Amino acid sequence: MRWSKLQKRIYNILDPNINLQIHCITYLNDCWYGPRTRVIPRYFITLNKKIIFDWPKDFPVKLYTSENIRYRYESAVRLISVTLANYLNTPLDKLMLIHDHWKILDIIRAADRRIGSRRWKEIYEKGTPAAKLVIKERIRCKKFNKNEPKVILRG
> Is the pLDDT reported for residue 82 higher than 80?
yes
Q: What is the pTM of this model?
A: 0.80
Closest CA relative to residue 10, chosen from 84, 86, 106, 121: 84
Cα gap 52→111, rounded to integer Å: 13
Taking phi first (over 0 means left), then psi (-120 to 50 degrees means alpha), and beta for anything else, what does residue 30 get?
alpha
Q: Which residues contact 51 (CB under 8 A, 6 or more apart)?
A: 44, 45
Among residues of the chain, what percentage have pLDDT more than 90? 54
> Where do the structural domains in the chain lie, given as residue ranges?
3-136
Q: What pLDDT, in 10s, does the model give residues 93-130?
A: 999 999 998 999 999 999 999 998 899 999 999 999 99
Cα gap 35→54, rounded to integer Å: 25
Cα gap 116→99, rounded to integer Å: 19
